[in-house]
Amino acid sequence: MRTLTGVGSTPLSGVGAARWYRPEAGLTLPDRPDPSAVDADAELARFADARDAARESIRDARDRAAERVGEEEAAVFEAHEQFLDDPELVGDIEAAVGDGTPAEHAVHDRFAAAIEQFEALDGPMAERADDLRDVRDRLLRALLNTRTDTDADDGAALADLGDLPAGTVLLAERLTPSDTAELDPDAVAGIATVSGGRTAHAAIIARSLSIPAVVGVGEPLREVEDGAELLVDGTDGRVVVDPDAATRGGVGSAAAPVVTERVSTADGRSIEVAANVGSEAEIAPATERGADGIGLFRSEFLFYDRETPPTEEDQYEAVTAALSAFPDDRVVVRTLDIGGDKRVPYLDLPDEANPFLGRRGIRLSLGEHRDLFETQLRALLRAAAHEGGEGLAVMFPLVSRIEEVEDAISAVESVAADLDGEGVDHAVPELGAMVETPAAVFLADRLAERLDFLSIGTNDLTQYVMAADRENDGVDAYHDPLHPAVLRAIDRTVSAAAGTDAWVGMCGEMAGDPALTELLVGLGLDELSMSAVTVPAVKNRVSEIDSAEATALADEALARETRTEVRDVLGVDGE
Ligand code: PEP
Ligand code: MG
């Protein structure tokens, strides 16, 4: 038995047989023949057939992804199909084939040039290179499959991610969002990757599919061979090779029973346990796992993978669907939080280097993209008048100034006045701010006076308090919400709101760790919002807690000076 460590991404465990995903394997090109020996017409026909086959496989992948993770995520495959029809790419390949280049070499050469061009662009456009690789590999696979005069090594290839045998633990250098969206959660027992972080898009999709995942395992993962038995433990961030019976035995028993009712601590303090939702497909799992509503509806997902922004009607429908799923609960919609790591191609956002201290979140909504903000507010105020709309709450991301909150509140009032004038049904929902910046922590008392609630976003708050990029594996030891500085920021926020009517929740990933529930209850949070998969465990944990003991635990943790000491107090490891 050997244990490799990485970053736990989906807090579930699974055991299965290792299978490397090597998208490039089996795609070795045959030697280039002399152009005079190439039958150009036959090669053109092979290229046309390969385009048809690639199109079919892209459409299959799209349909599978739409079924498993929703239309929004599946849209990436439509972009892939467009590459197959790109007149420049196709024209150049056909010209090369006409000049005596075999189809697979022509595809390989032309795509290599295009990939290089995208890679040189830096920033989000560079990600298109991955899409091009995906399309190139589908074409090459189709071409090499029909070539009978080569013995291309396809033994190690694993082309069809959507059709893996049950009990597969998928190993990869890293996975793209489109790879992950294709996976069948019933067949894939776990995922482990060499690189990548837990806030990466692919990791979030794996979480929404409830596939156990450990990311960023590093070099040692490469030594694991196909067929090895692996335990992927996404709770503790470890991959165990050849687990012994005791280690395997612990797996599966951890699944907590679903609790549909509201929960209170053993001494009767009620804690709302809500779900974070980052795609339409995550709403059903949130209801199935007994979430008390939605504590973070990341509205930016409505803006991804499309050519133009969603209309007021699109947004109204998405929000009212969420309200209908939770007719008796609160649904907290965060207004658009794009910029930095969250890209939307059609908005031509500035390319800014990490760690995203620039134009993002509310800064864009109140600045150059106020039109988008107002459209979104119209949809939200209309949704607040829809059945179940009294449970709607709206919060603003990345707040750092009182002026922003005042400006956002004025925007809400002016949209309400417009809707009044037009005779359109609407209501003003609860309004809140995310506490994600040190500035918001220091101003929390003033924010709480003006708003109905605050929701602490520990993913960003930790990166800004600690000056540690949340996407950078090299500063994991800094990007730790259990650092005393972050705990003090949380404590200060809750205390600042205590003298007001505002409630305080937490929607960062920290909220979903049952090992930290007692601490968070002790710190005084009223609501915890998390990936649906962890809702049952946290609800069960809340009912075991005594709030006086929780307060004492929080006080003890707050008195510590290092993250190691805090972890000792809480009895959690993770150095
Ligand atoms: C956060 O920053 O903690 C948060 C919940 O927002 P996101 O992860 O979407 O930035
Ligand atoms: Mg955030």
Strand 13-21 and strand 229-233: the pairing is antiparallel
Mean pLDDT, to the nearest integer, of 32-52? 92
Measured CA to CA, the distance from residue 440 to residue 438 in angstroms comes to 5
Residues with CB under 5 A from ligand 2 (ion): 436, 457, 460
Residue nearest to atom 3 of ligand 1 (CA): 457
Q: How many angstroms separate the Cα of 527 from the Cα of each of 336, 484, 539?
A: 22, 21, 11
Query: Which of 5-19, 53-67, 250-264 comes out lowest in average pLDDT?
Result: 250-264
Flag whether 62 is in a domain. Answer: yes
Does residue 166 surpass a pLDDT of 70? yes
How high is the pLDDT of residue 126? 64
**What average pLDDT does the structure give for the chain?**
87
Flag whether 20 is in a domain. Answer: no
* CA nearest neighbour of 340 among 489, 492, 442, 199: 199
Measured CA to CA, the distance from residue 230 to residue 134 in angstroms comes to 27
Residue that is last in its domain, among 110, 127, 148: 148
**Residues 216, 283 within the same domain:** no
**Residues 239, 192 within the same domain:** yes
| 435/160: higher pLDDT | 435
Flag whether 554 is in a domain. Answer: no
Domain, as residue range, for 532: 267-546
Does residue 72 surpass a pLDDT of 70? no
Does residue 152 surpass a pLDDT of 50? no
Supply the CATH number for residue 172's domain: 3.50.30.10
Residue nearest to atom 1 of ligand 1 (CA): 457
Residue nearest to atom 8 of ligand 1 (CA): 459
Residue that is last in its domain, among 205, 222, 254: 254
Contacts of 31 (CB under 8 A, 6+ apart): none
Query: Which of 106-110, 124-128, 192-196 comes out lowest in average pLDDT?
Result: 124-128
Residue nearest to atom 4 of ligand 1 (CA): 457
- % of residues, the chain, pLDDT over 90: 58
Measured CA to CA, the distance from residue 4 to residue 219 in angstroms comes to 10
Q: Is 80 a catalytic residue?
A: no
**Residues 44, 126 within the same domain:** yes
Q: How many angstroms separate the Cα of 47 from the Cα of each of 15, 113, 147, 161?
A: 41, 18, 12, 24
Does residue 236 surpass a pLDDT of 90? no
Q: Could you tell me the distance, in angstroms and rounded to a whole number, from the CA of residue 490 to the centre of ligand 1?
A: 15
**Residues 454, 518 within the same domain:** yes
DSSP per residue, 209-221 = TT--EEE---GGG
pLDDT confidence bin for 155, thresholds 50/70/90: very low
Q: Could you tell me the distance, in angstroms and rounded to a whole number, from the CA of residue 397 to the centre of ligand 2?
A: 7
Q: Which atom of ligand 1 is nearest to the CA of 278?
A: 9
**Residues 424, 487 within the same domain:** yes
**Residues 237, 166 within the same domain:** yes
Percent of the chain that is helix, strand, coil (3-state, to 5): 50, 15, 35
| 347/487: higher pLDDT | 487
**Residues 185, 320 within the same domain:** no
Is there a contact between 557 and 307 (Cβ–Cβ < 8 Å)? no
Strand 430-435 and strand 392-396: the pairing is parallel
Does residue 574 surpass a pLDDT of 70? no
Does residue 359 surpass a pLDDT of 90? no
Q: 327-342: b or e for each residue (b if 16 or more CB lie within 10 Å)?
A: eebbbbbbbbbbbbbb
**Residues 332, 439 within the same domain:** yes
What pLDDT, in 10s, does the model give residues 173-200?
A: 877 766 787 788 888 999 999 987 665 5
pLDDT confidence bin for 148, thresholds 50/70/90: very low
Which residues does ligand 1 sit against, CB inside 6 Å? 296, 298, 337, 436, 457-460, 507-508
Q: How many angstroms separate the Cα of 48 from the Cα of each of 61, 86, 90, 122, 139?
A: 20, 14, 10, 32, 10
What string of H, E and C letters represents the secondary structure of 325-367? HCCCCCEEEECCCCECCECCHHHCCCCCCCCCCCCCCHHHHHC
Q: Could you tell me the distance, in angstroms and rounded to a whole number, from the CA of residue 357 to the centre of ligand 1?
A: 14
Ligand positioned closest to the Cα atom of 531: 1
Flag whether 555 is in a domain. Answer: no
DSSP per residue, 5-41 = E-EEEES-EEEEEEEEE-TTTT-PPPPPPPGGG--HH
CA-based torsion, 183, 185, 188, 191: positive or negative: positive
Other beta carbons less than 10 A from residue 272's beta carbon: 20
Q: CA triplet 27, 75, 127: central angle to 5 degrees?
A: 55
Q: Which of 80, 105, 201, 426 does the annotation list as catalytic?
A: 201
Number of DSSP helices (H) and strands (E) in the chain, helices first? 21, 17
Number of structural domains in the chain: 3
Q: Could you tell me the distance, in angstroms and rounded to a whole number, from the CA of residue 147 to the centre of ligand 2?
A: 50
Mean pLDDT, to the nearest integer, of 63-76? 73
How high is the pLDDT of residue 156? 37
Flag whether 128 is in a domain. Answer: yes
Residue whose CB lies within 8 A of the most ligand 1 atoms, among 298, 341, 490, for a mutation test:
298
Does residue 362 surpass a pLDDT of 80? yes
Q: Could you tell me the distance, in angstroms and rounded to a whole number, from the CA of residue 108 to the centre of ligand 1?
A: 40
Ligand positioned closest to the Cα atom of 399: 2
Does residue 293 surpass a pLDDT of 70? yes
Mean pLDDT, to the nearest integer, of 352-370? 77
Flag whether 201 is in a domain. Answer: yes
Mean pLDDT, to the nearest integer, of 93-119? 92
Helix or strand holding residue 271 (H, E): strand 270-277
Retrieve residue 491's tokens: 């404590």
Ligand positioned closest to the Cα atom of 506: 1
**Residues 220, 329 within the same domain:** no
pLDDT confidence bin for 160, thresholds 50/70/90: low
Task: Pick the most confident of 251-255, 479-483, 501-505.
Answer: 501-505
How high is the pLDDT of residue 151? 41
Flag whether 573 is in a domain. Answer: no
pLDDT confidence bin for 488, thresholds 50/70/90: very high
Q: Which atom of ligand 1 is nearest to the CA of 436?
A: 2
Supply the CATH number for residue 143's domain: 1.10.274.10
Helix or strand holding residue 169 (H, E): strand 168-172
pLDDT confidence bin for 115, thresholds 50/70/90: confident
Q: Could you tell me the distance, in angstroms and rounded to a whole number, from the CA of residue 276 to the centre of ligand 1?
A: 10
Is there a contact between 459 and 482 (Cβ–Cβ < 8 Å)? no
How high is the pLDDT of residue 253? 47
**Residues 103, 185 within the same domain:** no
Does residue 242 surpass a pLDDT of 50? yes
Is there a contact between 18 and 225 (Cβ–Cβ < 8 Å)? yes
Flag whether 557 is in a domain. Answer: no
| Residue 87, amino acid | P
Q: What are phi and psi of 169, to 5 degrees?
A: -105, 115
Q: Which atom of ligand 1 is nearest to the CA of 459?
A: 3
| Residue 11, amino acid | P
DSSP 468: -
How high is the pLDDT of residue 436? 96
Total-model pTM:
0.69
Residue that is last in its domain, among 148, 175, 196: 148
Mean pLDDT, to the nearest integer, of 489-505? 97
Q: Which atom of ligand 1 is nearest to the CA of 458?
A: 3
**Residues 229, 307 within the same domain:** no
Q: Is 108 a catalytic residue?
A: no
How high is the pLDDT of residue 161? 75
Q: Which atom of ligand 1 is nearest to the CA of 509?
A: 3
Mean pLDDT, to the nearest integer, of 51-73? 81
**Residues 143, 232 within the same domain:** no
Mean pLDDT, to the nearest integer, of 430-457? 97
Q: Which atom of ligand 1 is nearest to the CA of 455?
A: 5
Q: Could you tell me the distance, in angstroms and rounded to a whole number, from the CA of residue 540 to the centre of ligand 1?
A: 24
Q: How many angstroms separate the Cα of 211 from the Cα of each of 12, 168, 194, 205, 231?
A: 7, 11, 17, 9, 13
Q: How many angstroms separate the Cα of 291 from the Cα of each of 84, 274, 450?
A: 42, 5, 28
Other beta carbons less than 10 A from residue 98's beta carbon: 14
Ligand positioned closest to the Cα atom of 198: 1
Supply the CATH number for residue 306's domain: 3.20.20.60
